[in-house]
Each structure stands twice: as C-alpha cells, then as structure tokens.
Structure 1
Amino acid sequence: MPGRNFRQYFLLSLKGIAMGAADVVPGVSGGTIAFISGIYEELIETIHGLDLGFFKSWKKDGIKAAWSKYNLGFLTALFGGILVSILSLAKAIAWLLEHHPIAVWSFFFGLILASIIYVGRDIGKWNIPVVVAILLGAIISYMITITEPIGSPESTWFLFLAGFVAIIAMILPGISGAFILLLIGAYTAVIGTVNDFTAALGSGDSSAMGSAGLKLTVFAIGAVIGLKVFSGGLNWMFKNYKDLTLAVLTGFMIGALNKIWPWKQVISYRTNSHGEEVPFLERSVWPADYTGEPKLMLAIGMTTIGFGILFAIEFLAASRKSPD
C-alpha cells in the first residue's frame, strides 16, 4: 500500500468529507465520489484485505507494521472525514426536512431520477432476463415502501440492519446508502440519532450521550459487518452477472420513487423516543389532493436542481473513465 505524508492524509480526509456529504443525501453515492477522486480501487482492495490476520501480524511484527500492512492509516483518514461530514450535515438535513419537506423531498426525487438513468445506462446488453430483473426489483422495492415496517426505525436491532445494508454505498458507485435507509424507512431515525448524539455531546448530558452513542455503535457494527460481506459478494456479482445486478438496482430505485414522492398523506402515527407523535405510515397523493400548500413550482425547480447535480457528478466520473 502507498506511503503517505501529512498533506496526503489531509487530502484523504477531505475526500472522506465529500463522501460523507454524498452518503447523507439520498441519490448521491459515496462510492461515486470515491471513484471520481481516484481512491475507489484502493478502498475496495483495503476493505477486502481486512481480516483477523491483523492481530497475528500485530503480535508478530508490532502495531506499526500491522497498521501499515493493512493500510489502516488510509481508512482512518478517510472514515474520519466521512464521520465529520455526517455529524455536521445531519442537523441541517433534519431541520430542512421539518421546515421545508416538499423542497427537500423534491430535490431527493430529482437525484434518484438521475440515478435511475445513469445506472440503467450502464447495462450492456438488454434482453428478457434484464427486463424481468428490473420489473422484479421495482415491484419488490415498491412493496417495501407501502408495507408496514417490521420494527421501529429507532430500535437497536433495526439500526443494526440499517447499517448492514446501507453500507453498500461505500463499495458501489451509482447507489446511495441514504437511499437504502429511505427504502427501509430508517433514514429520519438515523439522522435523528446522529443529531441526538451531537446535541448530548454539546450539552454534556452523559445519559443521552450514552443512549444515542449505543445506537450509533450498533449502526456502525452493522455497517462494518455489511462492508466486509458486501465487498466480496458485490465484486463477484459484478464480475459474473453485471447486467442483471445493474438491472435489479435500477428496479429498486424505480420502485423507491414512491417513498420519496414529495406529497404524502399520513395514514397512522407512532411515538418516537422523545415521546413525540411522528408519521408512521404514509401514502403518496397528487399535488391537487395534498392537504397543505403543494408548492408545485418549487417542487419542479428542486427536482431539476437535484437531477442537474447528479448529472454534473456523473459527468466528472465519465471524464475520469476517459483515457484522455
């Protein structure tokens, strides 16, 4: 693995901050940012190489040699930047979702629309199995969005599951971890938990800090395990069934558009960990049937902006692929 000086590690942290910002926003993939910034292959190789042999190497050659062998300086700098970014942006996103939901969900809607186009465009050969895979992915994803959640989004085991599946964004350009959290109904709960932790950290409330910290630790453990599992499995899928894998991912995003449709009608509520009544089940409605102000022109504008931002990111990624 390459040796680095302080400046290079600092730049790695900045790339991590960019990846973290991407992962907080549904529709933008941290994996895409890693690809654009030129660290994607090293990230995959480093993650895939992590195993319990680290402790054997530590015992035999010392911590410094083991640290270097497993390229942990790279991961520390990168994931440190990601963590800083997530902690910084989570509060802003939560505030925007509370005060400007139509604008935010419209922006996310545009991002996902662009992702569908660009991920689907990478399908090399269109045939019946590919079309069937897209349809199945869309149906399964849509059913998930309208089905009552199997558990509270704030429960510990559910956060573990959320971390396990959402980490796919780190190793797969084109799909967002925040999108996965949205799909399974855990996005606002995870953002809320991050905000609870930072608020407790600022106030010095050890009890609240411990509670939120435990949930984030469970989420992180799920992410670490998922990262190790997915890094091998997805590499194998892409090498052997790339078109079918892309087709399923495209279908998932098509079906999930229902989840981020800006205009919703609440069917039932639940009580969150703060004792507040929050929406539990919702259904999509047309702007004309929305009980509040539909803000249609704002929604169209934000959708266009979201689409354009992802278009720009994908353009940079395509430029990096070019031999020129």
Structure 2
Amino acid sequence: MHYIWLAIKGLFIGISNIIPGVSGGTMAVSFGIYDDIIHAFTNVRKEFKLSMRILGPIAIGALIGIAGFSMVIGWLLAEHTLYTAFAFVGLILGGLPILSQSLKDSFKQEQRKANSVHFLLFVVFFLLVSWMGVADISGGGPETISLGFGPLVALFLVGLVSAAAMVVPGISGSLLMLIMGYYYAVVYTINGFTSSLAVFDIVALIPFTLLLTAYAFGMIVGIILISKVIDYFFKHYPSFTYASILGLVLASPIAVIANTDALIGLNIENGFFKLFVALVIALASYALTFVLGKTDDVTKELPEESQI
C-alpha cells in the first residue's frame, strides 16, 4: 500500500510538470516527500535499494501522469481553464501545513529563531516566482520536431534545464520550456510516442523514442546535479532552505492562475457561480493533498541516519 501511495503522488507530480506555471517540486513539497526524493537521488549509489523503493513508484506514477494526461490536460486547460487552475492551486496549498511544520522543526534542529535572513529569503523567492507568473511569455502553436543530431542535443539540454527547474519548488520546468520555445515540441513528441505505442506503429515509434530518450537523459542529469546542491542546503542550512521553499510555494498559485489566464472571460452574469465552483474544487483538492501528505510511505522506513 505504501508503494501505491507513492505512485499516486508521483502521478500528480507528473501531471503538474506538463502544465506551464505548475511545479513538480511544489507538488512534492505539498505531499511531504520532497526532501526524501532529493536525498534518494543524491544517495542512489550509496543506498540503492532504499532509494529505488522511493524513486521507483514515484517515477512510474510520474511517467503515467505525463504520458496519460498530456492530451487530457490540454483539453482541460482549453475547455475548463478556471476549474483546472484552481484544482492545482488547491493541490499546492494543501501542503502548507506540512511545510510549515517542517520549517518549525528546522528551527528546533538548528536551535534558532526566525530572523531577517529567513524573511529576506522568503520575500526574494516569493517575488521570483510571482514575476515568472506574470512575465509576458510568448506562446505558440504545436510545433513539431524531427529526428537528427541537432534536435537530440537540443532536447537533452532542454531536459537538463527544465528538470533542474522542476526539482526546485515553485519554478515550473514546463514554463521554462515555453520560454526556450520547446514546450509544444516536447508535448508533440510525448503525444506522438503514446499514439504510436497505442497502435504499435514501429516506424513512427522509433524516432519518437530516440527523441524522448535524449530528453529523459537530460532530465536525469539535471535532477541529479541540482539535487546534490539542494541536499547540501537541507543538511547544512535547513531553516533557510525551508524559508526559501515557503516563499516559492506561496507564490505558486499566482504563477498558476497567471500562466493559465484562468480569470479571463469571467463576467457579471455567471462569474460568481463559476468562482464558487472553482473554490469548491480548490478546497477538495486542498483536502486531497492534505490527506495524501499524511499517508505513510516508504520514506518513513529510511534509517534515521539516512534521512534529512
């Protein structure tokens, strides 16, 4: 059952990673498994079995979320933008109780109280994510990408940069891909792979597989590199790290609503009713994250000296 809960959390992390403005790292924080994922990545060689018991189910869930919902999410954002955006806002905010408790525990661990440095870090990272949310990012249609050495290298680099961002709560990897101009190309490749796999079209499947392999390899390298940096800060400056993450997470709803244009199109006639429904959905999503964050998972089985 522990592994099923981890897979479910990974599912939501995967879905969040394909929506510009939503951070997979934020979802991991909301579910209370962020620091354990970072530790598992940075110690995968030293604690391989324990790390894979964490990363395996999460990776499976994330892959299902990305492959299975890349088309569905596009439809939801196009047809039910307000409700979809508020659902993710609720999912994000549902982790605040766990994050707040982690911040309090870090103060006890360091035997210190909140000071001006904590407040400054909170404000800086809050403003950073808020700016990314309201910055003018050019969109575009569904571009395609062809197989070749150049595209393979480009997808590797895009995967590296976006994955590094995905690890940092509040920073949307998909938004960075949109800025770099590769978001729709990656979505096209994922959809092409799943469509070809569904009908088992080998000829079409091969190029999509090679392109996704380059992108996935870049993601793995990016996650490992940035995980080592974050793991260092968790171990040596936990209260400052959690204060920064709190700023990133609290600003994430702004980025989600701004990047999805969720509030555009509301009018006096039905605006109040739609907002009411959206808030109900947000509250239900908040409760879902809160419950999932409280579930026991295999990260609790890590030996104490292996935990952050």
Q: TM-score range by the shorter chain?
A: 0.5 to 0.7
From 86, 94, 104, give the equivalent of 1:114: 94
- The amino acid of 2:78's aligned partner reads E
Q: Post-superposition shift, 1:308?
A: 0.9
Q: Post-superposition shift, 1:251?
A: 1.2
**Aligned equivalent of 2:72:** 92
- The amino acid of 1:229's aligned partner reads L
**Aligned equivalent of 1:220:** 216
Q: Which one is further off, 184-193 or 110-119?
A: 184-193
The two structures, once aligned, show a CA RMSD in angstroms of 4.4
From 295, 308, 314, give the equivalent of 2:287: 308
Provide the C-alpha distance between the structure 1 equivalents of 2:55 and 2:9, rounded to a whole number of angstroms: 14
Q: Please give the per-residue CA displacement for 1:16-54, whole angstroms capped at 9, x wherever unaligned.
A: 632431312437745776959xxx48x835752439xxx
Provide the C-alpha distance between the structure 2 equivalents of 1:288 and 1:121, rounded to a whole number of angstroms: 40
Provide the C-alpha distance between the structure 2 equivalents of 1:127 and 1:289, rounded to a whole number of angstroms: 45
Q: Please give the per-residue CA displacement for 1:260-309, whole angstroms capped at 9, x wherever unaligned.
A: 118965xxxxxxxxxxxxxxxxx965944899997222211111111111
Provide the C-alpha distance between the structure 2 equivalents of 1:121 and 1:134, rounded to a whole number of angstroms: 16
Q: Post-superposition shift, 1:146?
A: 2.5
Distance 1:310-1:293 versus aligned 2 partners, 3 A rule: same
**Aligned equivalent of 2:11:** 21
**Aligned equivalent of 1:129:** 117
* Matched-pair contact (CA < 8 Å) for 2:160–2:221: no
Asked if 1:184 corresponds to 2:184, the answer is no
Provide the C-alpha distance between the structure 1 equivalents of 2:52 and 2:233, rounded to a whole number of angstroms: 29
Provide the C-alpha distance between the structure 2 equivalents of 1:246 and 1:87, rounded to a whole number of angstroms: 31
Asked if 1:103 corresponds to 2:103, the answer is no
Distance 1:136-1:99 versus aligned 2 partners, 3 A rule: same
* Matched-pair contact (CA < 8 Å) for 1:46–1:70: no
Q: Post-superposition shift, 1:193?
A: 4.0
Provide the C-alpha distance between the structure 2 equivalents of 1:85 and 1:299, rounded to a whole number of angstroms: 22
* Matched-pair contact (CA < 8 Å) for 1:25–1:108: no
Structure whose alpha-carbon radius of gyration is higher: 1
Tell me, what secondary structure is at the counterpart of 2:120?
helix
Provide the C-alpha distance between the structure 2 equivalents of 1:32 and 1:140, rounded to a whole number of angstroms: 19
Q: Post-superposition shift, 1:143?
A: 1.4
Provide the C-alpha distance between the structure 1 equivalents of 2:71 and 2:127, rounded to a whole number of angstroms: 33
Q: Which runs of 5+ in 1 are unaligned?
A: 1-10, 52-68, 170-174, 266-282
Task: Output the TM-score relative to the length of structure 1.
Answer: 0.63
**Aligned equivalent of 1:55:** none
* Matched-pair contact (CA < 8 Å) for 1:48–1:231: no
* Matched-pair contact (CA < 8 Å) for 2:30–2:92: no
**Aligned equivalent of 1:145:** 133
Q: Please give the per-residue CA displacement for 1:199-224, whole angstroms capped at 9, x wherever unaligned.
A: 12224455653454344223312221
Provide the C-alpha distance between the structure 2 equivalents of 1:205 and 1:290, rounded to a whole number of angstroms: 49
Provide the C-alpha distance between the structure 1 equivalents of 2:2 and 2:190, rounded to a whole number of angstroms: 23
From 247, 250, 253, give the equivalent of 1:257: 253
Provide the C-alpha distance between the structure 2 equivalents of 1:289 and 1:260, rounded to a whole number of angstroms: 23
* Matched-pair contact (CA < 8 Å) for 1:134–1:247: yes
Tell me, what secondary structure is at the counterpart of 1:87?
helix
Provide the C-alpha distance between the structure 2 equivalents of 1:114 and 1:46, rounded to a whole number of angstroms: 25
Distance 1:308-1:191 versus aligned 2 partners, 3 A rule: farther
Task: Output the TM-score relative to the length of structure 2.
Answer: 0.66
**Aligned equivalent of 2:162:** 162
Whichever structure has more helix as a proportion of its residues is 2
**Aligned equivalent of 1:299:** 278
Q: Which runs of 5+ in 2 are unaligned?
A: 17-22, 105-112, 144-153, 301-308
Provide the C-alpha distance between the structure 2 equivalents of 1:292 and 1:206, rounded to a whole number of angstroms: 48
Tell me, what secondary structure is at the counterpart of 2:255?
coil
Q: Please give the per-residue CA displacement for 1:165-198, whole angstroms capped at 9, x wherever unaligned.
A: 32x27xxxxx58xx73355365974555433320
Identity %: 18
Distance 1:112-1:185 versus aligned 2 partners, 3 A rule: farther
Provide the C-alpha distance between the structure 2 equivalents of 1:196 and 1:317, rounded to a whole number of angstroms: 37
Tell me, what secondary structure is at the counterpart of 2:172?
helix
Whichever structure has more strand as a proportion of its residues is 1
Provide the C-alpha distance between the structure 2 equivalents of 1:103 and 1:127, rounded to a whole number of angstroms: 38
Provide the C-alpha distance between the structure 1 equivalents of 2:195 and 2:127, rounded to a whole number of angstroms: 39
